[in-house]
Amino acid sequence: MVSSDQFSELGSVLKCVRCGTCRSVCPVFEESGWESKTARGRMLLAQGLIRGELEPDPEMIESLSMCTTCGICEQKCPAGATPPRVVQSARQQLVQKGNATRAQLQMYTRAAETGNPLGETANRMQWIGEEPEEQSKSDYVYFVGCLGSYRYPDLARKTFRILEKLEVALLEDEKCCGSPIMRTGFDAGELVSHNLDQIRKSGAHTVITSCAGCYNTLKKDYPDEFNVMHVSEFLAEHIDELGLKRLDLTVTFHDSCHLGRSHGVYDAPRRIIEAICDLKEMKSIRENARCCGGGGGVRTGYPELSMKLSKKRLAEVPDDVDYIVTACHLCRNNLIEGGSEHEVIDLVDLVCLAID
């Protein structure tokens, strides 16, 4: 019996006309060369899984797990199919059938036990560097995210110091937004419920985040009870209040998949960059930007593949730039680990250089 959700995804599967456009743009297919590693191949596997015509096997699990969900296949599909959604739905079915990969299961367990997929047990608010003041109700709250809280605490601190001056508060007890859990097929309902309760208590009508994955999840997978803004959008709206000075620098900008192709946030970060310094674009940009290789659970489950995709993206960096700027923590991490010859910084790092 096909559920209503599965029926919806089956409709997307049936939109696929097997034209092969996705083969020409899929970063994973470019590395593997296997039809099963393209959106077209994954759609056929998902169709068999939804209809009960195929049982999960190691090859199917690998195919569906190696998708970064970058969305370029959806962007280019002439028939309007939505392969990333189909892949996520198929992953959910694999999990329900007990076929999660070891890496996916470990990540889910860490998130369930510690409130973050990194397995960190330290105080999530330690990044602030001092005992946080009791948060009063505010129209705006900053959702820091797991990478900001635990991997880039200096950046989280810089970001909040700017936002605080614009009357943005913090949540009292933030947990993982659920993105890495959902993208790999697990249920993140407890995390979502917890964060929703925190947002409601804050009284905020707008949640601001500097993590592209959090932004995508809060916007797509949470109830439509509040506005969601990426920090680049919020700062672009308040650009005249930032006191930016012009810097003698040339940078390039990496468009993240979750911020760019998923939500069309291209202009806000560029507006900020161009107010500060010269921008020299990468070879592929905006909706055509190459994926860094970090999303969809691929960085955790298939690190070698992830690094190959990262190096391909780094090969598109123009000569004679001072920094690679991105507005996604995961992209930043993956580009650094891919061996970038240029320093990779966050958009907020650049803003701070222009303020100090």
What are the pLDDT digits (tens) for 175-197? 999 999 999 899 999 999 999 99
Task: Report residue 81: phi and psi, to 5°.
Answer: -75, 160
> Domain check: are 31 and 80 in the same one?
yes
Asked whether residue 29 is domain-assigned, the answer is: yes
In a domain? residue 102: no
Residue 112 domain-assigned (yes or no): no
φ, ψ for residue 100, nearest 5 deg = -70, 150
- Per-residue pLDDT of 40-89, as tens digits, reads 999 999 888 888 898 999 999 999 999 999 999 999 999 999 999 999 88
Total domains, the chain: 3
Question: Domain ends where: 46, 81, 96?
Answer: 96
pTM flag (> 0.75): yes
d(CA 144, CA 207) in angstroms, rounded, equals 10
Residues in the chain: 356
Which structural domain, as residue segments, surrounds residue 86? Answer: 4-96
Contacts of residue 77, defined as CB under 8 A and 6 or more positions apart, other chains included, come to 15, 16, 21, 22, 39, 83
pLDDT value at residue 3: 52
CATH number at residue 347: 3.40.50
Q: Could you tell me if 40 and 141 lie in one domain? A: no
Backbone φ and ψ of 6, nearest 5°: -65, -35
User: CA 31, CA 304: separation in Å to the nearest integer?
Assistant: 11
Structure tokens at 319: 């000569």
pLDDT digits (tens, 9 = 90+) for 80-123: 999 999 998 899 989 988 998 888 899 999 999 999 999 999 99
* Whole-number Å distance between alpha carbons of 227 and 204: 9
Give me the chain's average pLDDT, please: 92
117, 180 contact by CB (below 8 A): yes
Q: Are 208 and 163 in contact (CB under 8 A)?
A: yes
In this structure, the answer to whether residues 75 and 130 fall within a common structural domain is no
pLDDT for position 2: 46
Has residue 105 been placed in a domain?
Answer: no
